[in-house]
Structure 1
Amino acid sequence: MTFIENLFGVIGDLTWGWSLIPILVVLGIFITALTGFVQLQFFRRMFRVLSSKNQSGDPNAISARAALLVSVGGRVGGGNIAGVAVAITLGGPGAVFWMWAIALVGMATSLVECSLAQLYKRREPDGTFRGGPARSIIHGLGAEYKWLAVLYAICLIAAFAIGFNAFQGNTVAGAAQESLGIDRMWSGLLLTVIAGFIVFGGIRRIAKAADIVVPVMAVAYLLMAIIIILINITELPGVLYSIVMNAFGLEQAVGGGMGAALAQGLRRGLFSNEAGLGSAPNVAATADVRHPISQGITQSFSVFIDTIVICSCTAFVILLGDVYTPGAEAIDGVVLTQQSLVSHLGEWTQYFLTFILLLFAFSSIIYNYYLGENALTVISEHPLAINALRAIVMGIVFLGAVAPGATAVFFFSDPMMGILALVNLIAIMMLLPTCLRILKDFREQLRAGVERPVLDPEKFPDLDIDRTAWTGKVSDETARA
Structure 2
Amino acid sequence: MENFITSANELMWSLTMVVGLLALGLYFTIRMAVPQVRLVKDMVGQLVHGGSSSAGVSSFQAFAMALGGRIGVGNIAGVAAAIHLGGPGALFWMWVTAIVGAPVALAESSLAQLYKHKIRGEYRGGPAYYILEGLGRQWRWLAFAYAAATVFATVVTGPQIQANAVTAATTAAWGWDPLWVGVAMAALFCAIVFGGMHRLGRTVGLVVPFMAAAYILVGLFVVAMMWQQIPAMFAMIVESAFGAHSIYGGILGAAVSWGVRRAVYSTEIGTGSGAQASAAAHVSHPVKQGLAQAFSAYVDTLFVCTVTGLVILATNSFDVLGPDGESTLTQNLPGVDAGPAWVQAGVDTVLPAFGPAFVAVAVFLFSFTTLLSFSFYAETNLAYLIPDKGVQKACIAVARVLLAASMVFGSVQTSAFVWSLADFGVGLYTWVNILALVLLSPMAIRLMKDYDRQRRAGQDPILDPDTIGARNAHLWRQVHAEYQRTGDVQAAMDHVADTAPDTRSIAIVPPRGR
Hey, what does 1:378 align to over in structure 2?
384
SS at match of 1:277: coil
Structure-1-length-normalised TM-score: 0.90
8 Å CA contact 1:120–1:131 kept in 2: the answer is yes
Taking the TM superposition and a 5 Å limit, the aligned residue runs for 1:52-201 are: 53-56=49-52, 58=53, 61-126=56-121, 128-201=122-195
| Aligned residue in 2 for 1:203 | 197
Q: Assess if the C-alpha contact under 8 Å between 1:95 and 1:264 holds in 2.
A: yes
Aligned partner letter, 2:398 = A
Greater shift, 381-390 or 281-290, is seen at 381-390
State the distance in 2 between where 1:136 and 1:116 align. 6
Instruction: Kindly report the root-mean-square deviation, in angstroms, between the aligned alpha carbons of the 2 structures.
Output: 2.5
* Structure 1 residues 46 and 85, CA gap change in structure 2 (3 angstroms): same
Q: How does 1:461-476 map to 2 (within 5 A)?
A: 462-467=470-475, 470-471=479-480, 472=483, 475=490
Q: Distance in 2 between matches of 1:224 and 1:332?
A: 22
Gaps of 5+ in 1: none
User: Structure 2 residue aligned with 1:353, among 345, 349, 359?
Assistant: 359
* Identical residues among aligned pairs (%): 33
2:371 is the alignment partner of 1:365: yes
SS of aligned partner of 2:76: helix
The change in CA–CA distance for 1:66 and 1:436 in structure 2 (over 3 A counts) is same
Q: Counterpart of 1:400? A: 410
Q: Which residue of 2 aligns with 1:387?
A: 397
Contact 2:46 / 2:288 at 8 angstroms: preserved in 1? no
Of the three residues 432, 435, 453, the one matched with 1:426 is: 435
Shift of 1:411: 5.8
Quick one: structure 1 residues 408 and 226, their matched pair in 2 at CA, closer, same or farther if it must change by over 3 Å?
A: closer
Displacement of 1:244 in angstroms is: 2.4
Q: Retained in 2: the 8 A contact 1:93–1:253?
A: no
CA shift for structure 1 position 306: 0.6
CA displacement at 1:344 relative to structure 2: 1.7
Unaligned stretches of 5+ residues in structure 2 = 321-328, 494-514
Q: Tell me by how many angstroms 1:187 deviates.
A: 2.4
Task: Answer with 180-189 or 117-126: which moved more.
Answer: 180-189
Shift of 1:292: 0.6
Question: Is this contact kept in 1: 2:115–2:133, CA < 8 A?
Answer: yes
In structure 2, the partner of 1:48 is 45
Query: After superposition, what is the alpha-carbon deviation per residue over 1:413-435, rounded to whole angstroms, capped at 9, x for unaligned?
Result: 43342221111111101111011
Q: Which residue identity is paired with 2:467?
A: K
Q: CA deviation at 1:257?
A: 5.0
Deviations 1:123-161 (A, max 9, x none): 2342x2100000001100012211111111111111122
Find the residue that maps to 2:163 and give its secondary structure: helix
Question: Residues 80 and 383 (structure 1 numbering): CA distance in 2 closer, same or farther, change over 3 Å?
Answer: same
Contact 1:94 1:248 in 2 (8 A): yes
Matched-pair contact (CA < 8 Å) for 2:269–2:297? yes
Q: Which amino acid aligns with 1:24?
A: L
Is the CA contact (8 Å cut-off) linking 1:160 and 1:413 kept in structure 2?
Answer: no
Q: 1:333 aligns with which of 338, 343, 362?
A: 338
Task: Describe the shift of the 1:393–1:238 C-alpha distance in structure 2 as closer, same or farther (beyond 3 A).
Answer: same
Per-residue deviation, 1:59: 7.0
| Deviates further, 309-318 or 162-171 | 162-171
Aligned residue type for 2:361: F
- Measure, in 1, the Cα distance between the counterparts of 2:245 and 2:74: 26
Superimposed CA distance per residue, residues 310-364 of structure 1 (whole angstroms, 9 cap, x where no aligned partner): 0110122122214446731574222222211111221221111000011111011
Q: Is the 8 A contact 1:123 1:466 kept in 2?
A: no
Answer yes or no: is 1:36 the counterpart of 2:33. yes
- 2:258 is aligned to 264
Partners of 1:149 and 1:458 lie apart in 2 by 24
Residues 275, 351 of structure 1: alpha-carbon distance in 2 compared, 3 angstrom cutoff:
same
- Tell me the alpha carbon deviations over residues 184-203 of structure 1, each in whole angstroms, 9 at most, x when there is no partner: 34423321122112211222
Moved over 6 A (4+): none
TM-score under structure 2 length normalisation:
0.85
